[in-house]
Each structure stands twice: as structure tokens, then as C-alpha cells.
Amino acid sequence: MRKFFGVEKNVFFMGLVSFFNDFSNEMIVSIFPAFFSSVLKSGAASLGLIEGLADGLSNITKIFSGRLSDKLQRRKLLALSGYVLSVATRPFYLVSGTAAHILGIRVVDRIGKGVREAPRDALLSLSAKKGEIGRSFGFQRAMDSAGAILGPLVAFLILSLFPGAFNTVFITAFCVGILALFSFVFIHEVAASASHREKLRLRLRAHTSDFRRFLVIIFILSLANLPIALLLLRTQDLGLNLRYIPLFYLFFNVSFSLSALFAGRTADRVGDKPVILGGYLLIALGYLFMIYDHTLTALAIGFVILGMGSAFTDSVQRSFAARLTSAEERGSAYGLLNAAIGFGLLFSGVVGGLLWEHFGATTALSLSLGLILVSLIGFGLVNGKRA
């Protein structure tokens, strides 16, 4: 079978899908703080509620989408449905004039993300040859990161050339999203054998005490992980011109992309647990920069550090969960892990946004910082070896 850039045809075009979709989505997310304040006249509470609900429901939806894809054996169709759902929401930003409208759009968009990710990853793994799965996921992640970098950059250029032209950003994002859907034309379905089908069980008591403790800690750490769109509001506290806000999201994404590969290699060398600990300490350090140094330089450094911390925790904590469970329990384990992360992010956005708006950014950031430090003490007591 013909390869593209060293990977299978399916893998290449799924990489293109990820590139165009993240390009599209990150354009929109990067301008949210400016859009909310200048057009919707809404504050941190509304933005936190929207992002918290959206991210939380996205992770909770993942619990069921993987099982459904295994049952239907139609992973391409299910993944495509998720992407269609997300891309279809983007024209509605053009006619939205209230935070309630954005809430509905964003929730549907992120549910689409929850629907597509598990079947997409399953299709990706089944499309790769034996011994090339790591390379295939690495290619997909690299394309995803490239889109995440270009999205905020293009949004910044549009707002620089046409100040206040948010509709131009939304239209451009929708057109780029259409390219993601078009890329599916070149992807073919791959079915797993019956022996590969797993039954999803969400039985908490079936798992080890270390894994149950890990779930509680991950929930609290997710609760402390404030939405990036909310953190971008810090730029306005410092009087930054609206058009420059996407650049700070760009700093975050570039840092994340450059650190992700190093994080994986470091985890292979020293273990998952030290990398996760280091990642959340970096996130805490990023919050400290935002709390105590009210300069744009410190804020930029803070977003760079947050990108590094997110790279060190994002995928590594999922591999750590695998160490705490057996292969037979893995489907249930990841369902429970997604649920813990999802509920944590949901409350993080809602509570963090309310605190930010009514008591100030320092209060919200300080509480998150304290939760991280307390949770890491508990995380240090978790045995990283499978029982």
C-alpha cells in the first residue's frame, strides 16, 4: 500500500483532518476573551461556565463513544459524525449576540469532539502496521499541533489587518473546518476482529485502591486546571490591545508542541510519575507568574510554562493509569479516567469563572495553585506499579 510521508494513507489523511480541525477550532478559542468582552459584554463567569461545561461534557461523552464504535464497527462514520457536528456549529457564531447562544454552540461543538476522539484513535491504531503505531500517533499529534499553532496566528493577523472583524475569523474558521471534512473522502474504514472488541464496564470497585485514589487526585487536579480561554482574560487585566490576545494562546500552543515529544521520552526514561509531578509543578509555577508579576513579559513566560506543564501531564497521566490496571480492565479504567477529568474541568470552568469575575483573577489562580500543591502530596502516595 502506498505511503504518504512515511505513514499509511489512512494515517496521513487523518493527520490532515486533525490539522484543519484544530486550525479552525483554535482560531475561535484564541479570540474568545476579546469577543466576550467587546461584543457580548460578558465577563469571566460566563466564559468559565461555557468552557467548563463544554470541556466537561466532551470528556464525559468519550466514555460512551469508544464503546459505541466497537459495537457498530463503523469508526469512520462515527468519527466523521463528530467532526461534522463540530464544524457545523461554526457559522452560528455569526448570528450569536449573547453568552447563552455561545454556550449552546460551544457545548455542541465539544460534544462532537467527545464523539469523534475514541473512534478516531481506534481507526488510527487499526490503520497502522505492526510496529508503526507510535509513529502514526506521533504524526497525528504533530499535525494537530501544527494546526493549533497556525490557528491563533491567523486570527491575530486577521484582527491586525481588520480590527474587530470577528465575523471574518468565524467565516475563515468554518472554511478551514470544511477542509477537515473533505479529507475524510480519502479515509477508508478498518474493522477489528471480534476478539478485539471490549466491553465497557464502569465498575469502580473492580479496580485497585491505588487506581481509585488516582482518580480522586486527577479529579482535583482537573478542578485546579483553569480553562485556557479564561486564563487569556489576564491579558485584558494588563491593558493589552484585543488583537494581541491570540498571540498568548500561540505561546501556549508552541510550548506545548515543543515539549510533548520531550515529555514522552522523559517518561520512558524516568517513569510516568515524576513527569506528571513535574508537569503540575510547572502549571503551578505558571500560575505564580500570573499572580505576582503584572507585566506582559511575565504573562508570556507564564503561558509558555503552562504549555510545558500541560504537555507533561496531558498524555502521560493516561499511560500512568495503564500501569495501575490490567489489560482486561483497561476499557473501564479509561472510561472512569475520562469521567474524573470531565467533571473536574466542568467545575473548574464554572467555579473558576465565578471567582475570577466576583473576587478577581488572583483569588481564582491562588485557589487553583493551592489545590495543585495539596493534590500532589496525595499523588506522591500512589504506588505506580500495577497490583
Q: Which amino acid is at 373?
A: L
- The answer to whether 251 and 290 have CB atoms below 8 angstroms apart is no
Q: pTM score > 0.95 for this model?
A: no
Q: Which amino acid is at 12?
A: F
Compute how many other C-beta atoms are within 10 angstroms of the C-beta atom of residue 202: 14
Q: Is 203 exposed, middle or buried (0-12, 13-18, 19+ CB in 10 A)?
A: exposed
Helices (H), the chain: 9-35, 44-72, 75-89, 99-127, 133-161, 166-183, 209-223, 228-231, 234-237, 245-270, 272-292, 296-314, 316-323, 330-359, 361-379
Q: How confident is the model at residue 280 (pLDDT cuts 50, 70, 90)?
A: very high
Span 10-37, mean pLDDT? 91
Write the pLDDT tens digit of every residue in 197-231: 445 455 555 566 778 888 888 899 999 999 998 89
pLDDT, greater one: 332 or 79: 79
Cell 461543538, residue located: 109
Q: Is residue 387's pLDDT more than 50?
A: no
Q: What is the pLDDT of residue 197?
A: 47
**Distance of alpha carbon 23 from alpha carbon 18, whole angstroms:** 8
**Distance of alpha carbon 311 from alpha carbon 357, whole angstroms:** 28
Q: What is the pLDDT of residue 379?
A: 81
Query: Residue 111 to residues 56, 81, 150, 332: CA-CA distances in angstroms?
Result: 9, 11, 24, 20
- The answer to whether 279 and 316 have CB atoms below 8 angstroms apart is yes
Q: How confident is the model at residue 369 (pLDDT cuts 50, 70, 90)?
A: very high
Write the pLDDT tens digit of every residue in 85-96: 999 999 999 988
Q: Is residue 14's pLDDT more than 60?
A: yes
**Distance of alpha carbon 17 from alpha carbon 178, whole angstroms:** 10
Q: What is the pLDDT of residue 322?
A: 66
Q: What is the pLDDT of residue 5?
A: 61
Q: How confident is the model at residue 159 (pLDDT cuts 50, 70, 90)?
A: very high
Domains of the chain: 1-186 (1.20.1250.20), 200-387 (1.20.1250.20)
pLDDT, greater one: 151 or 125: 151
Q: What is the pLDDT of residue 371?
A: 92
Q: What is the pLDDT of residue 195?
A: 45
Cell of 264: 514522552
Contacts of residue 371, Cβ cutoff 8 Å, sequence gap at least 6: 220, 221, 223, 224
CA atoms in the 13 A half-sphere facing the CB of 60: 13
- Helix 99-127 × helix 9-35 angle, to 10°: 160
* Listed residue (32, 13, 22) closest to 177, CA to CA: 22
pLDDT, greater one: 241 or 72: 241
Query: Residue 323 to residues 6, 123, 333, 383: CA-CA distances in angstroms?
Result: 31, 24, 11, 10
Q: What is the pLDDT of residue 128?
A: 72
| Secondary structure (3-state) at 3 | strand
First and final CA of the chain: distance in angstroms?
42
Q: What is the pLDDT of residue 157?
A: 95
Span 254-265, mean pLDDT? 81
Q: What is the pLDDT of residue 146?
A: 87
Span 174-181, mean pLDDT? 96
What does the mean pLDDT of the chain come to?
83
- The answer to whether 96 and 183 have CB atoms below 8 angstroms apart is no
Write the pLDDT tens digit of every residue in 322-331: 677 665 555 5
